[in-house]
Amino acid sequence: MSDLIIVESPSKIHTVKRTLGKGYNVVACVGHVRDLPKSKLGVDIEHGFEPTYVDIKGKENIIKDIKKLAKSSDHVYFATDPDREGEAISWHLATILGLDLNDKNRITFNEITKTGVEAGIAAPRCIDMNTVNAQQARRILDRIVGYKLSPFLWKKVRRGLSAGRVQSVAVRMIVDREEEIKSFVPVESWSIDAKLLTSASKKAFLAKLATVDDKKAELKTKADADAILQRLDGADFVVSSVRNGQRSKAPAAPFSTSTLLQDASQRLNFNSRRTMSIAQELYEGIDIEGIGAVGLITYMRTDSLRISDEAKNAASEFISKTYGEEYLPSKPRVYKSKDNIQDAHEAIRPTMIDLTPEKAKASLTTDQFKLYRLIWSRFLASQMADCVLNTTNAAIAAEGCVFKASGFSVKFDGFTALYEESKEDSEQSSILPSLAKGDALKVASLDGVQHFTQPPARYTEATLIKAFKEYGIARPSTYAATITTILQRSYVERDARQLKPTSLGEVTTQLMKEHFKDIVDVKFTAEMETSLDKIELGQVEWRDTMDSFYKGFDKALKDAEQSLEGKRVKIPDEATDQVCEICGKPMVIKLGKYGKFLACTGFPECTNTKKIVTETPGKCPYCGKKVLQKKTQKGKKYFGCEDNPTCGFMTWDTPTAEICPNCSSTLFKKGGAKGKLICYKKDCGYEKDLG
């Protein structure tokens, strides 16, 4: 006889088993084993929203094996993931096995390491039914919204659509932002830039007009700017004040889920789904050369910024040993979460500080290495000393006008020795020449610069996740899934890295705003998330929350059905400059079951349709025809000859407009900014490094 430990992922089995040794049997349930039925609502609304759960199709053998192993075990421990979903999976398993819910059979691993596993097995507890009920409430809410609202959209817009409690709000945010951009009216303004020289310097520095006759400079038109330029023509520029000082920059906090997704997007160009998938691999365990199978990071679905004392001490020792005592802060850093409701976990951090990214690199895939390096560097930097900057601020007077110039240099690099700021946040070092009050300056140039206010930027995955966090409309476990869903459902599409609503997304959102305003209301959705948090804390009863929501939702649904009786909403087609080669009429872009396609506006007389192809500047190195941008079934971009499959040329590398100097064939870009250009013409072999 032995004790049985049930984990979620098979990749954890080896690490947990190796850590605990003999006397333990470890098996994986591979996620949820029970759920609401797919074929019906599965919720008895009339009797307290009682759910009906069924075994998930395909999990029969897993359930059978777990039952068999449980019968021959002394004790059963549930070691599913340490979050709401994991708690619910443990409850479902306990129910299937007929175990007493008062037994202390629930264990959690914040990290899949020897320390984390031993700490978990040493502290078993009862399954937390408040957490289970919070998960049940979320699942039932989403089922009711999806099961009742989706058919409404099928009837009124198009079959196959779906609505969701969080996804519909996300689409609305993207649609609203697009409307702001379209309605934006730019406002003109002007500034005056002076490039000035001291008597001892050859390089000019920049100063900007700040005040005119002791009032803030506000130049609205070119005439305003020209008047100032005329006033300053031939004027003496004299330094009126110089202030030297110091400024400290503190490191960013270690990663939570939202900041990890944002940084991975900005730095690594990873989408949220890719980031979470790689983070899951790092958490569950990887076979590291010389160490064995071990989890490299703590649990990756967390709002918390808390760090254990053990991890802080390990970081301090590593920093002191590697960088020196001066790189340690005067006192240990403490980062506080904005919202401590879900503070059960630590922030995302490496489990072993001494396992540097370079040491682990040989055992990791390229993506795993990049993400591990990001997490490791961010955490270690968060425990380091401030970066200290020497600053200089100067005021320069000329004919009643005051120009301001500022600069800084790094006095002590601190945490930036390890973790540089991202491109969006970084500051370029700007050192002013030696200046003293009364110094006369020479004018190298004096220019009026026109500006226009800019519309708000479209959301990217990074900024949308940041907004989710700020508004409180989602939780770490749903960030990536929500974005993936709205893209897959064609409510939103990517335009480079930006998220742009489709005509389907705009039409559906307008319909939802008119008839289901609560479902797409940011504040309402945030309040619902808060209610789920309160259920988890045992402050409210989950059935009461369901009842309060359903009354308003049911009325809205009935009113919408009545209001739109016999009506159907048309999705507008997207105009193009292409002409039908059969009848000569314009072609438009339509959205079908399998995505966008070109269709003739002469339908039904003309039924011509075509795939949408994206041409590139390249020519096929095999046959000389056009190279087209294409997508795999999983949506990954690649390039191929327009004459495929007759011509077999295909590549992941991007065609460029550059021509091979040897054979005049198209050069293809391989790798990133420091990659290379390659010629694929047979027997040519030309390559050019870009780094």
299/283 Cα distance (integer angstroms): 6
List 441's β-bridge partners, or say none: 237
Could you say which of 77, 299, 327, 419 is catalytic? 299
375/263 Cα distance (integer angstroms): 10
15/121 Cα distance (integer angstroms): 14
Structure tokens at 539: 């402050």
Contacts (Cβ under 8 Å, ≥6 apart) of 559:
515
Show the 3-state SS of 460-472: EHHHHHHHHHHHC
Coil, helix or strand for 272? Answer: helix
Coil, helix or strand for 375? Answer: helix
List 610's β-bridge partners, or say none: 598
H or E segment at 192? Answer: strand 188-197
241/404 Cα distance (integer angstroms): 10
Nearest to 210 by CA among 186, 195, 187, 192: 192
Coil, helix or strand for 524? Answer: helix
Terminal C-alpha separation, the chain: 61
Residue 10 to residues 26, 32, 62, 420, 686: CA-CA distances in angstroms? 9, 13, 12, 36, 46
226/190 Cα distance (integer angstroms): 10
How big is the CA angle at 437 (ends 431 and 439), to the nearest 5 degrees? 80
β pairing state of 2-7 and 73-78: parallel
CB 193 within 8 A of CB 225: no
**Would the CA dihedral through 332, 338, 340, 345 be positive or negative?**
negative
Does the active-site annotation cover 299? yes
> Which residue pairs from 176-185 have beta carbons closer than 8 angstroms and sit at least 24 positions apart in sequence?
177/456, 177/458, 177/459, 178/458, 178/500, 178/501, 178/506, 180/455, 180/456, 181/455, 181/456, 181/458, 184/455, 184/456
Nearest to 458 by CA among 172, 169, 181, 171: 181
Coil, helix or strand for 122? Answer: coil
317/461 Cα distance (integer angstroms): 36
Written as one letter, the residue type at 635 is G
**Tokens 């001291």 -> residue:** 198
Active site residues: 299
